[in-house]
Amino acid sequence: MRVSERLEKIPPYLFAEIDKKISQAKAKGIDIISLSIGDPDTPTLAPVVEEMHKAIDDPANHDYPPYNGTALFRNAAACWMEDRFGVELDPDTEILANIGSKEAIAHIFFAFVDKGDYTLVPDPGYPVYHNATVFAGGTPYAMPLLEENNYLPDFEKIPEEVAQKSKLMFLNYPNNPTGAVADLDFWKKAVDFCKKYDILLCSDMAYSEMTYDGYKAPSVLQVEGGKDVAIEFYSHSKSYNMTGWRVGFVCGNEKAVKALGTIKNNIDSGTFKAIQQAATAAFSIDQSYIDNLNKMYQERRDVMEQGLRELGWNVKPSKATFYIWIPTPKGISSEAFATELLEKAHIVVPPGIGYGKCGEGYVRLALTKDVDTIRKALKRIQEAGIRYSK
């Protein structure tokens, strides 16, 4: 049996490999603390679950959903975008329901990328950006996200010949894996660049509501003319603790939304209507639920960052996401350091190289454990004699 050439070009998926390591360690009876995958450890918010109980008992929800999502869900998404960002969208032509943002992100490449086309993707970045480019027959061009530039890409360093051949640019702020944030001035530069080269700007906003210390993440669609070149991907996974529910939406440029919808119409049949009904309830949930989640993650952030400082790391307070991105000790690769944490402290973290070449020399810590467990992890690191040295 011969698999396709494109499949042979795809590296093992980072988190699938991490799952294997966790399973192998647990099989040996090792007490593992996993700070790897960004999967909330608290339940889906109660009002969402309550709405799901009602929705699932309604036979009207048991048939195929509309391909572009229910009118209820799309209208609610439009209202949320206007309330949250002041952005007006047509729910019929500028919003599309998705099976979580991961599938929509992967499918947008098939709607725009042909063989020989470039895509501009962040490095380090969510692996799907790179891999979906390869699946679509395109060539990913890595935009380095460097610490000295606050993990923002420098558009002026993209070669002219690459920009001319590029169809898509993916940006992700608040950022996974670095936790970096961007302001509207940055988004204006991105919009201007994409207009100049006729590039579709794709903004991955999976962590839009996971912010701290008074920071609020802006939308690229707030930029004047942003909708001319941009679409934005939203997910219920992190904002409402709905990772397993697989629901979200994409919004923005009408042509891009339509193109993505054409791909999806031929590949999937949409999200279960009961889930869309529950997800609609999430849009109007009392803000206190989101504030309480962020307060919890901020407390975890503070404990983790203070503990890391005591171990030698110069960690700046993260303003968003539930990730901490830290350099490895001098002379140690990201994979070697992740292995050291696993073998000496029984802690699992993903190596930065799994997010791209520029991720080398870093590891990512997810704040998906309670404060006591985070303190336990820090104690294990200390007792293992692991410290940061430049």
Tens digits of per-residue pLDDT, 181-196? Answer: 999 999 999 999 999 9
Of all helices (H) and strands (E), which one includes residue 203?
strand 200-204
Residues 261 and 307 in one domain: no
CATH number (domain holding residue 100)? 3.40.640.10
Which tokens go with 365? 């810590």
Residues 316 and 205 in one domain: no
Is residue 278 in some structural domain?
A: yes
Residues 160 and 132 in one domain: yes
Is residue 124 in some structural domain?
A: yes
CB 330, CB 226: distance < 8 Å? no
Is residue 354 in some structural domain?
A: yes
Tens digits of per-residue pLDDT, 104-132? Answer: 999 999 999 999 999 999 999 999 999 99
CA atoms within 13 A on the CB side of 276: 28
Residues 206 and 238 in one domain: yes
Residues 265 and 306 in one domain: no
For 242, counting Cβ atoms within 10 Å of its Cβ (0-12 exposed, 13-18 middle, 19+ buried), the class is: buried
CB 293, CB 44: distance < 8 Å? no
d(CA 327, CA 141): 24
pLDDT reported for residue 13: 64
Is residue 390 in some structural domain?
A: no
Residues 148 and 259 in one domain: yes
Is residue 388 in some structural domain?
A: no
pLDDT reported for residue 14: 65
Residue 206's nearest CA partner among 301, 322, 317 is 322
Structural domain span for residue 242: 46-283
Which residues of the chain have a pLDDT value below 50? none
d(CA 378, CA 156): 40
Is residue 152 in some structural domain?
A: yes
pTM of the model: 0.94
Residues 164 and 62 in one domain: yes
Cα(first)–Cα(last) distance of the chain, in Å?
A: 49
Is residue 295 in some structural domain?
A: yes
Of all helices (H) and strands (E), which one includes residue 56?
helix 46-56
Strands 230-235 and 248-252, bridge-based pairing:
antiparallel
Is residue 389 in some structural domain?
A: no
Residues 172 and 122 in one domain: yes
Residues 318 and 335 in one domain: yes
CATH number (domain holding residue 11)? 3.90.1150.10
Residues 72 and 198 in one domain: yes
pLDDT reported for residue 15: 64
Helices 254-265 and 100-112, axial angle in degrees (round to 10): 100
User: Among 240, 257, 283, which residue terminates a domain?
Assistant: 283
Distances in Å between the Cα of 229 and the Cα atoms of 86, 112, 195, 205, 252 are: 18, 13, 6, 16, 8
Residues 16 and 161 in one domain: no
Which tokens go with 363? 């590891």
User: Among 229, 257, 283, which residue terminates a domain?
Assistant: 283
Domain count of the chain?
A: 2
pLDDT reported for residue 25: 77
Residues 106 and 231 in one domain: yes
Q: What is the dihedral of CA 110, 161, 353, 35, to 10 degrees?
A: -50
User: Among 231, 256, 283, which residue terminates a domain?
Assistant: 283
pLDDT reported for residue 40: 94
